[in-house]
Chain A
Amino acid sequence: ELKVEQNPLFLSMQEGKNYTIYCNYSTTSDRLYWYRQDPGKSLESLFVLLSNGAVKQEGRLMASLDTKARLSTLHITAAVHDLSATYFCAVDEASGTYKYIFGTGTRLKVLA
């Protein structure tokens, strides 16, 4: 059974600092997704990573995928308060059923 773990679970950081969130998964998978969830809100898609070595960037966020290590990273550059949210990675179980298993989530708080 596919397991998806993120670390850290909680992250409090100062504005202007850099940090990386890690997403590890336990079995072979085709695709990995990153989502953002603001408190009390829905989930919004950030990145879709489809192959080994894939790198996507949007603003201060950059996501990468290493399928051999079964690892994805979400790097935050020069954090701002607006990035405060919970970030989830999700992995397609690659069983042909398109069962997306979500990571535990990383609750990010950027302090002004």
Chain B
Amino acid sequence: DTAVSQTPKYLVTQMGNDKSIKCEQNLGHDTMYWYKQDSKKFLKIMFSYNNKELIINETVPNRFSPKSPDKAHLNLHINSLELGDSAVYFCASSHLGKSYNSPLHFGNGTRLTVT
């Protein structure tokens, strides 16, 4: 029943490791996003895919690589993790286009802690 689901919910890892976060939505939306929320609760957009095509690619270290195998899935792979990567990562989805005007639907977040 979950509309936007992310796994894992918690991720604790050491510096230098590589990790992935997965996201799936069953809302039939055509656009998916990754947002990073830091310890001060600031939300920063990272990437967005529309129908498997990358449409937003913010200034993010190239250690972060998103992949969208289809419009219902968006994964985030992070190489060589650093302490500053610790944050909560949210996946979100929506319909693109003014005729929809739909808000973002968020997943429950993945809390990444790098030690």
Contacts and interface: CB of A to CB of B under 8 A. Distances in A.
Interface of A is mostly: strand
B45 interface: yes
Contacts, number: 54
A99 B90 contact: no
Please tell me the size bucket of the interface on A.
20 to 34
A99 B56 contact: yes
A45 B104 contact: yes
A98 B103 contact: no
Nearest to A43: B106
Contact of B106 (A42, A48, A86, A98): A42
B87 interface: no
Nearest to B108: A42
A42 B42 contact: no
Contacts of B96: 98
